Structure 1
Amino acid sequence: MRDINVSTEAHILEAAFAVFSQNPGASLADVAKHAGVGRATLHRHFAGRDDLIVALTLTAAQELDEAVETATAHCQTYTHALEVALGAILPLAARHMFLATEPAINDPRVAEVYASQTRDLTHDIDMAKAEGAFDPHVPTEWIVQAYDNLIYAGWAMVAAGDATPKQAAALAWRTLTQGTGNDAPSARNPWHPH
């Protein structure tokens, strides 16, 4: 019986990803219909929309982590891993983009996952900075924010059909490294005014 429940829940989650990625304002009835289950069955697994969004957010975070881990497994430097990670993350735009408008940060499980991801990214950027990828005078927190926001920008480009995931990843990396890279003259460094 437990396996049936798990597979039903997973099926509902897959249906929710499909429905919400096409129409973020879709109802739970739309999700239930797409999943081929009754609303009562959906509500046995998810109390309401917020509960479903939290489950989708946690699933999406796990998918992102797994995609990045797989893609970067053989990278020799943190700098290369950060670049390769963009190439793993951007193809998930169609599946995950709608979650950007459905904040579930008030859920402690989601908040912890986001905090963990931010800690990992901060560490990786600090290590890439030590490798010379980024200007040491640019605060790591700024680079972390830029990286995250460039992912969102890339997802928006992909979702709008204005770029392929590969093109968006290349543009994001180019923007990040040219804007925060180690090549900018220190005379133009806004963090240490002369």
Structure 2
Amino acid sequence: MTMDRERVLRDAAELLSRNANATQDEIARAAGISRATLHRHFAGRDALVRALEELAIRQLEEALDRARTDEGPAREALRRLVAESEPIAAFMAFLFTENQLFENGATNAGWERVDARIHALFQRGQEAGEFRIDLTPAWLTEAFHSLVAGGAWAVQAGKTAARDYPYMVSELLLGGVTRQDRPQDRPREPSKETRT
């Protein structure tokens, strides 16, 4: 019997999204295979996590494609991206906490591709005057990842309804990133009494 690698990875991702400390035995059971079969294809947790990382990158790139981040107003593109990321948010939260992904400062080139696309969305919004320019696109990209992971954790912990995830993540992110031109948001001029 041949193993469907993609299905095993998706089953492992689903389990680890709910239980980051699941054992190899539990992962194998969730995938409907023996531990020996799992080990033959993924020699230990590190190898499995590396394969899951590749799956996550592919899924996030697909979410970016579906979100059409280079089309229309950047605010709407960001909302689409948050909505498209929802199905893999818990999986992303799991990977976000896996220390071995960043051993010795080595980062998978796939993350760099993903980050470059999200960075470009924030930069486009800044250039169009939609987003604040005092926060770098690199920082906003990290904020995006953190809010996606945080939203997933809140849903898993029962602190937030799953149906509220897209709205809450989008609105918090947009509330911080949107350029405000209201008088109360501009730096104040010194009062006449303090002018020299």
Give the TM bin, normalised by the shorter chain: 0.7 to 0.9
Is 1:132 aligned to 2:137, yes or no? no
Paired residues, number: 184
Asked whether the equivalents of residues 58 and 110 of structure 1 are also in contact (C-alpha less than 8 Å), the reply is no
How far off is 1:53 after superposition?
0.6
Task: Give the 3-state SS of the residue equivalent to 2:7 in structure 1.
Answer: helix
Task: Give the 3-state SS of the residue equivalent to 1:47 in structure 2.
Answer: coil
Task: Give the equivalent residue in structure 2 for 1:155.
Answer: 152
Instruction: Using structure 1 for the length normalisation, give the TM-score.
Output: 0.80
Asked whether the equivalents of residues 67 and 88 of structure 1 are also in contact (C-alpha less than 8 Å), the reply is yes
Asked whether the equivalents of residues 129 and 135 of structure 1 are also in contact (C-alpha less than 8 Å), the reply is yes
Q: Which runs of 5+ in 1 are unaligned?
A: 189-194
Task: Give the equivalent residue in structure 2 for 1:56.
Answer: 52
* Distance across 2 between alignment mates of 1:79 and 1:177: 7
1:86–1:16 CA distance, 2 compared to 1 (3 A): same
Percentage of identical aligned residues: 27
Asked whether the equivalents of residues 70 and 121 of structure 2 are also in contact (C-alpha less than 8 Å), the reply is no
Asked whether the equivalents of residues 28 and 38 of structure 2 are also in contact (C-alpha less than 8 Å), the reply is yes
The Cα offsets for residues 70-90 of structure 1, whole Å up to 9 and x where unpaired, read as 233794233321121001112
The structure number with the bigger radius of gyration is 2
Asked whether the equivalents of residues 18 and 156 of structure 2 are also in contact (C-alpha less than 8 Å), the reply is no
Is 1:71 aligned to 2:71, yes or no? no
Q: Which deviates more, 157-166 or 45-54?
A: 157-166
Root-mean-square deviation over aligned CA pairs? 2.7
Task: Give the 3-state SS of the residue equivalent to 1:105 in structure 2.
Answer: helix
Q: Which runs of 5+ in 2 are unaligned?
A: 189-196
1:137–1:109 CA distance, 2 compared to 1 (3 A): closer
Aligned partner (choices 163, 168, 178) of residue 171 of structure 1: 168
